[in-house]
């Protein structure tokens, strides 16, 4: 006869069931479910006033946090707006002293004459600025 273990929160009950019938295991599962629902409803003896005051405390803590987060977002928005207004577009080929200590924007192709290598995997590349490893472990 196979043995089936039915786990309760407080104790374990071992039920033996014939291979052909499953009525014993179903009755054990039903009684265990009834015990679990009775135990959880009996343990809950908190008053609704305590839950109400806990909710008030959480709301009082949440409102300043939302206020601080919104204030931080406004500061970042102002910084980005100021940067957009003061950015200077420059040519990548010419460097001038008048753009020193200013926010500049340049676009172009990045090249190098050095070789980049990864000794661990014995990989060497020409005209490459960076080698990035991506590791996937299964």
Q: Are residues 75 and 95 in the same domain?
A: yes
Domain total in the chain:
2
Q: Are residues 30 and 59 in the same domain?
A: no
The domain containing residue 32 runs over which residues?
Answer: 3-43
> 2-16, 43-57, 61-75 — which is least confidently predicted?
2-16
- Quote the Cα angle for 24-29-34, to 5°: 130
Q: Are residues 29 and 62 in the same domain?
A: no
pLDDT at 49: 86
| Nearest by Cα to 36 from 73, 65, 2, 10 | 10
Q: Are residues 11 and 62 in the same domain?
A: no
Average pLDDT over residues 67-77: 96
Q: Are residues 106 and 62 in the same domain?
A: yes
Mean pLDDT estimate for the chain: 78
Cα–Cα distance, 82 to 14 (Å, whole number): 72
């Amino acid at each position: 006869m196979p043995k089936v273990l039915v786990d309760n929160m407080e104790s374990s009950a071992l039920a033996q069931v014939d291979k052909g019938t499953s009525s014993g295991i179903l009755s054990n599962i039903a009684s265990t479910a009834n015990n679990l629902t009775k135990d959880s409803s009996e343990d809950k003896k908190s008053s609704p006033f305590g839950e109400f005051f806990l909710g008030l405390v959480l709301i009082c803590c949440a409102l300043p946090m939302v206020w601080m987060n919104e204030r931080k977002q406004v500061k970042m928005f102002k910084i980005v707006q100021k940067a957009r207004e003061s950015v200077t577009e420059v040519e990548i080929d010419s460097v001038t002293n008048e753009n020193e200590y200013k926010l500049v924007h340049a676009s172009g192709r990045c090249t190098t004459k050095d070789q980049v290598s990864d000794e661990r995997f014995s990989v060497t590349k020409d005209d490459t600025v960076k080698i990035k490893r991506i590791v996937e472990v299964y």
